Every structure is written in C-alpha cells, then in structure tokens.
Amino acid sequence: MEKRLVPPLMEGTLSREGWEQGRRAELLRLLGSEVYGITPKDFEVQFTVTDESEALQGKALRRLVQAQVSGPYGTFTFPFVAFFPKGEGMHPAIIFINNREKHHTDPDRKQPSGFWPVEEMVARGYAAAAFHTWDVDTDCDDGFQNGIERIFEADAASRPDDAWGALGAWAFAASRICDWLLLQPQVDAQHIAVVGHSRGGKTALWCAAQDERIYSAYSSCSGCSGAAVTRGKKGERVAQIVRNFPYWFCKNYRRYAGREEEMPFEQHMLLALCAPRPLYIGSATEDEWADPESEFLSARLAGEAYALYHLQGVAAESMPAPEMPVQAGQIGYHLRTGKHDLTPYDWGLYMDFLDQKIGR
C-alpha cells in the first residue's frame, strides 16, 4: 500500500477502550469544530404524512412526509418521500441524499433515474427514502438566510467560526429521516443505511459518523473532504473546495487551505468513526478530481479502527482493478470504469454488500 504521512487514529497504542472512551468522541468534536461545523442539539421534530398511496405499479406503498424542525429561533419544514415494498415483514431501509436535479427523487417517478433506481431497490426488498438537498439548505452561498440553519441562529451575519455549513445541515436532515423510519413498523430498525454521491457522499459519511443508529453508509465519489485522504491528494484540494464551496463547511476549515499538513485530522478518521459498522466506498476511474487512489487509501487506513473489533476493513492490500469489487471485509470498495457518477451498477454492488452484511 502507498505510504503517506497521516496523523494516527490515536497517539500511542490504539486500543478499543481508548477509542471508545475518549478518542472517538474527540475526533468527532475535531471534525465538527474544524471541518463540518457543530451540529445543533437543541431541537424538536414533528412529522406529517401528507399522502399515502400505492406506487410503482402496485409494488410499493409510497408516503410523502413533511418534517417540521423547531429550533430556538423558529421552525423549518422539509419534505421527503419513502417507498416501502408491499407485503409482510420488515425491510432494511436506505436514505438517499439527492444533490442533483429534483427529478431524480420525484415521488411520481415521471422519468426513471439511474441515480436513484428506487424501482430496483424496492424489487430487492429495500425501503427507500430520499430528500433533495435544496429543500434543507440551498446549495449556494446565500449567507445562510434560507436554509435550516436560520432556526438555530439569532443572526446569520455573525456566525461563530465553528458554525455548521450545508454538509452538516444535509447530514442532520438524513438523521431526521432516520428518526421517522425508526417509527415505521415496516422498517427493520437495525438496518438503516445512508447513501450519497459526491457532496452527498461527504454528507453521508458525516451523517453516519455522528449518528450511530445508521447501520451503514455508502459514499460514492466523495473525494475531497469526503472519503479521500487529503495529504498528498490529487485533483481537488482544500484551497479549492473552500474557495468554491465555502458554505459547505464551518469557517475554521478555511484555515487549512494550502496547509493540509497542519491539519490535526485526516479523512480516514471520518471513515474510522463508522467502525464497526459496514461502510462502503465507491470510486470511478475517470474521477481525477475526487482521486480514487486517495479514497482507497483512506478506506484502507480506517481499517485500523475496525481491527479493534476484530473485523477486517478493506479486504485488499492494493487498489483493485475496475469492476473487481472488494466486499469481503467490513469496508467495501469498488472502482467503476467511467465518470464521476452514481449508477445502477454502483447501487447494485452496494445492495449486494448490504445483503451480505445483513445476512439476507
């Protein structure tokens, strides 16, 4: 495996006690205060099902839901959709963070989408929920005037340097959908996963790192500030991401532009926070901006945390060839030929991985 100088998961000897009784929480705080911002804890959430109907040619039950979140400075409502396979029994569920056009998660499925192939997911016995990022926080630099952040702040103009950004807000929304799924009798509460692509993949990882009710996360092509190790990374660097997307992060993260070596954290730590839960990383050969090698390296390095639970991380020493998924360990990885995307092929592999880990 390629060697890069990255900070260790723990100073001294990494032990399960040291990890669970201190270091894990410390890393969570560090990634919060330095990268994604601190997630507010003071809120209540209420759900209203606005429609319940048969969908997907009678194969699914569809519910449209409004989540109303109340914070210290107001309320904010966002919609999401959920499809449940028809029939008896409880189903594992997958929450999808839709960062692309809204039509991909259109509840009426007017056009099929390979980005969110819900028909296939339901056919495989998964409940599938999704929200659109813009419904939670606009994916543009609007000074935090319109997104969910505003219900937590007296004044958007004077935000602390560790105040959360859009990635944190989207991760929060995915956790609220998890709240709701846990209340649904059709859902197997032990097996709720979160999936996102690119900025959505960064979000999925941050969500699973913070929310231990999430059984598994799949991060597709998440690259910089997502799955990829930052030190020595090719393609996008911190300087570019904080310049182009400052509102995704807390202000503190800007301090590391061009100074990655000084970061007291690394992205494999984000992945390690998911241990011992099944984690999945996907890359694409032409995605130089995200840098597949740095994504794979991070997955490998996170294996150290899984070893504390006597679990294997990625079951491959070196980067696998395209279309040769590595799924035996608790961290799955595959490289797909092609562009920066999330495709039915990727989804199929992730569901294979989940089926295997859940034992279905």
Q: Which residues bind ligand GCU (CB under 6 A)?
A: 99, 198-199, 223-224, 236, 241, 244, 289
For residues 87-126, one letter each, b for 16 or more C-beta atoms within 10 angstroms of the residue's C-beta and e for the rest, the string is eeeebbbbbbbbbbeeebbbbebeeebebbbbbbbbebeb
Q: Would strands 127-132 and 91-98 be described as parallel, antiparallel, or unpaired?
A: parallel
**Active-site residue 198, yes or no?**
yes
| Residue of 198, 216, 220, 294 marked active site | 198
Amino acid of residue 20:
E
Between residues 236 and 293, which has the closer beta carbon with respect to ligand GCU?
236
Between residues 67 and 224, which has the closer beta carbon with respect to ligand GCU?
224
**Active-site residue 340, yes or no?**
yes
Between residues 99 and 294, which has the closer beta carbon with respect to ligand GCU?
99
Helix (H, G, I), strand (E, B) or coil at 55: strand
Minimal distance, residue 77 CB to ligand GCU, in Å: 25
Minimal distance, residue 198 CB to ligand GCU, in Å: 3
- Strand segments, DSSP code E, in 184-312 are 187-197, 216-220, 279-284
Minimal distance, residue 197 CB to ligand GCU, in Å: 7
Amino acid of residue 148:
I
Angle CA(139)–CA(252)–CA(242) in degrees, nearest 5? 45
Minimal distance, residue 359 CB to ligand GCU, in Å: 33
DSSP 232: T
Would you give the distance in Å from CA 78 to the centre of its chain?
18
User: CA 329, CA 341: separation in Å to the nearest integer?
Assistant: 24
Quote the longest CA-to-CA distance of the chain.
58
| Residue of 33, 70, 103, 340 marked active site | 340
Between residues 201 and 332, which has the closer beta carbon with respect to ligand GCU?
201
Between residues 32 and 223, which has the closer beta carbon with respect to ligand GCU?
223
Between residues 149 and 291, which has the closer beta carbon with respect to ligand GCU?
291
Minimal distance, residue 236 CB to ligand GCU, in Å: 5
Q: Residue 92: is the preceding peptide bond cis (ω within 30°)?
A: no
Helix (H, G, I), strand (E, B) or coil at 72: coil
Minimal distance, residue 142 CB to ligand GCU, in Å: 17
Give first-to-last CA distance, the chain, whole Å: 33
In total, the chain counts a number of residues equal to: 360
User: CA 299, CA 295: separation in Å to the nearest integer?
Assistant: 6
Task: Show which residues are catalytic.
Answer: 198, 340
